[in-house]
Structure 1
Amino acid sequence: ALYVDGGFGRLTFGRLGTLGFAQSTGILRGAIFGVTHGASGWASGTTSLHFSRVDNAVAYKTPSFGGVTLHAMYSNGTNTDDSKNKWSENNHYYGLGALYSSKTLSGSVIFETIDYKSLTGNTKHPLYHVTMGGWWRVGIFRPMAIYQYQWGENRYKQHAAQIGSQIKLGGGTAKLGFKYVTRKIDGTASKIEGEKKGNLWNVGAGYEYPLSKRTKVYGFAGYTDGGKGWGKGKNLTTTNLNGYQIAVGMVHDF
C-alpha cells in the first residue's frame, strides 16, 4: 500500500483491508479477540462477519476533530481476477465509517457493501453490513461490545453480537468473550445453502503475554454450538461449527 499524509488527512492506495477488517485502514472496535481466534474471532469466515482485503482500493481518513475521524474506502475490483473484466462487471466495495478514540474510550460505526456484479443469476445482488462496537477502559478491565446487521436480496438477513472484556493480569492480557449469531436465508438462496434459518453461540477465553516489545506468546480455548443450522457439516455450510478449539502460539512482529 502507498499512503500520503498531510493537513488534509491520509490518502491510501493499493490492496487494503476493508474498514471492518484488521489492517491499518480498518476501524473495527469492540471485538474481544480481534479478527483471529477461530470461531471466537470476528472474522469467522463461515458466518461472513466481515469483508477482508480488496484490490485496487483507495481509502481516505479525515484529520481528527475532537477525537473523531471519518473514513471512506472504495475498490473498483475486489479480486485479482477482476482486472480481466470491464469496470461494470467487477465486484465493487464501498465503505463509510466514523471512529472515536481517547485514552479510556473508543468506538466505531461502519457501513459497507460489495455489489457482486461479477456474479450471475440470483447471486448477483449486493450484500450490506452495518457494524458498531467499542470499548471502555475501567481500571484493569476493558469491557467490549460489538453488533452487526447484514442483509441482501436473495442472500440472508443476519444479526451478530459479541460481549466480553480484556483484563490486564499478571503482566499480560486475559480475554473472555461470548458471541451469538442468528441468520435467516432470503429467497432463492435457501435452495443453495439448505436450511432457511441458523444460529450459533460461542464462548472463548485466552491469554497473551509479551516477551518483548515485538514478541508475545498466547493461549486460547473456545467452544461453539452451531445448533441445527451450522452443526455437523450440513445445511447452511459444509463446516462443522459444533466443537472445541484450543491453540497456543507465538507472534513476532518484524
Structure 2
Amino acid sequence: MKKSLLALAVLGAFAGAAAAQSSVTIYGKLDMALTKTNDGTSTLAGATSTSDAWGLDQQAGSRLGFRGTEDLGGGLRANFLIEHRFNNDTGAQTSAANFWQQAWVGLSGGFGEIRLGRDYTPLFWVALAGDPFGYDTIGQAGAAHNQLGILPVRFSNSFSYKTPNLGGLTALVQVAAKETTAAGTKNPFGANVVYSAGPLYLGLGYENAGNQTPAALGAVKTSVWTATGAYNFGFARVGLSYTTGKAENAGGVDVADRDNWTLFANAPVGGGDLRALFAVRDNDLTNTDIKKFGVGYHYPLSKRTKVYADLGTAKETGADRRTGFDVGIQHNF
C-alpha cells in the first residue's frame, strides 16, 4: 500500500512538471448585432447584406480557437495555433476549410519567432493599426480600404520570421510557396517594420500576394505599400494610414491601380471607446473613388463582454450613397 502511494505521488510530481512546461488554451469570440442598411449601390465596408432588409448578423468574426506552447528548455519554445470561424447567426462555418483563419506551428526564443502554415500577412498588421474598429462592424475601413480590396489578409503555405522586440522596434518577413507552375505567378512575399513604444506607433508594410491575390481581379501578382502612424494624446489616439498599390495579370497588364487614405481616432468617453474614421479610396484605372465615414461607441460590461453601436456611410463615384448601422453584443472567452 505504501509503495502504491509512493508511486502515485511520483507520477503526480511528473504530471505537475509536464503541465508547468506546456499549456493549451481554448479561446473564442461570439458576436451578434441587429443591422440595417439602405439599398444604396455604393461599396460600404462592413455591410453584411446587399439590401435594406433588417438582419441579425455577426459584425466581428465569431471564432473558436486553440493555442498552445511547450517549453523545450534553454529559452526555446514550441508554439501552435488553429482557429475556426463560423457564422453565429446560423451556426454554419464561414469557409469550407475548418481552420482557414489560422493554422500554424513554430518555434520562439531569444532569436525571435518562426511560424509555418497559414498566418496573417505582415502588411495586414500595419493596415489593421490604421483602423480604430479593428476591421470589425459597419464603421470599419477594413481590407476594402486599408488593403485596397486587392490583398489577402492571410497567406497559406507560408514561412515567417519575426525579430525580437528591440526597444519597441520589430521586423517581420514572410514568404509563401506558390505551389503552382502557372506562367507569371510569383511566390507571395511580405514584410513590415514597426515601432511601438509608449504613445507612439509607426509602421511600414509591403506585400506582393503573387498567386494568392483575390481571384476576382484576374491578377497573378501585386505590389502594395502601407504606412500607418498614430499617437495617443491621452484624451484621444489619432492617426493616419496610407496605402498604395497595383495588381497585374499574367500578361503584365494592370487590373488594379489604387490608393487609400484613412484618418482615424479613438477617444475614451464615459467609460467606453468612441471611434471614428474617414477613408478615401481612389481607383486610378477608372478615375473613381469611394469616400467612407464611420463612427461608433463600444462600451465594456466586463473585461470579456461589451455592447456597441456603429454607423457607416459611403459614397462611390457614379453610385447612390449607402448608409447602415449596427447595435450588438460581443463576448470573448
Residue equivalent to 2:243: 148
Aligned pair partner of 2:328 in 237, 249, 252: 249
1:178 matched to 2:278:
yes
Residue equivalent to 1:215: 305
Q: Distance in 2 between matches of 1:156 and 1:57?
A: 25
Residue equivalent to 1:67: 168
Residue equivalent to 2:294: 204
Residue equivalent to 2:19: none
Give RMSD over aligned pairs: 2.7
Residue 221 of structure 1 contacts residue 245 of structure 1 at CA under 8 Å; is this kept in 2? yes
Amino acid in structure 2 at the alignment position of 1:169: V
Query: Which moved further from structure 2: 4-13 or 108-117?
Result: 108-117
Deviation at 1:126, TM superposition (A): 1.5
Aligned pair partner of 1:57 in 158, 164, 171: 158
Give 5+ residue unaligned stretches, structure 2: 1-103, 249-253
Residue 30 of structure 1 contacts residue 107 of structure 1 at CA under 8 Å; is this kept in 2? no
Amino acid in structure 1 at the alignment position of 2:291: W
Q: Distance in 2 between matches of 1:31 and 1:213?
A: 21
Report matched runs for 1:32-51 at 5 Å.
32-38=132-138, 40-44=140-144, 47-48=148-149, 50-51=151-152
Q: TM-score, normalised by structure 2?
A: 0.61
Q: Provide closer, same or farther for how the CA distance between residues 249 and 50 of structure 1 changes in structure 2, counting only shifts above 3 A.
A: farther
Report matched runs for 1:45-194 at 5 Å.
47-48=148-149, 50-77=151-178, 85-86=180-181, 92-116=187-211, 123-153=218-248, 154-185=254-285
Number of residue equivalences: 222
Residue 161 of structure 1 contacts residue 180 of structure 1 at CA under 8 Å; is this kept in 2? yes
Matched-pair identity in %:
24
Deviation at 1:27, TM superposition (A): 4.1
Residue equivalent to 1:238: none
Deviation at 1:32, TM superposition (A): 2.4
Residue 42 of structure 1 contacts residue 50 of structure 1 at CA under 8 Å; is this kept in 2? no
More relative contact order, 1 or 2 (CA 8 Å, 6+ apart): 2
Q: Provide closer, same or farther for how the CA distance between residues 143 and 117 of structure 1 changes in structure 2, counting only shifts above 3 A.
A: closer
Deviation at 1:124, TM superposition (A): 4.9
Secondary structure in structure 1 of the residue aligned to 2:143: coil
1:8 matched to 2:111:
yes
Amino acid in structure 2 at the alignment position of 1:162: T
Q: Provide closer, same or farther for how the CA distance between residues 95 and 160 of structure 1 changes in structure 2, counting only shifts above 3 A.
A: same
Q: Provide closer, same or farther for how the CA distance between residues 56 and 116 of structure 1 changes in structure 2, counting only shifts above 3 A.
A: closer
Q: Distance in 2 between matches of 1:2 and 1:102?
A: 28
Q: Provide closer, same or farther for how the CA distance between residues 159 and 117 of structure 1 changes in structure 2, counting only shifts above 3 A.
A: closer
Q: TM-score, normalised by structure 1?
A: 0.78
Give 5+ residue unaligned stretches, structure 1: 186-195, 233-241
Q: Distance in 2 between matches of 1:67 and 1:38?
A: 32
Residue equivalent to 1:20: 123
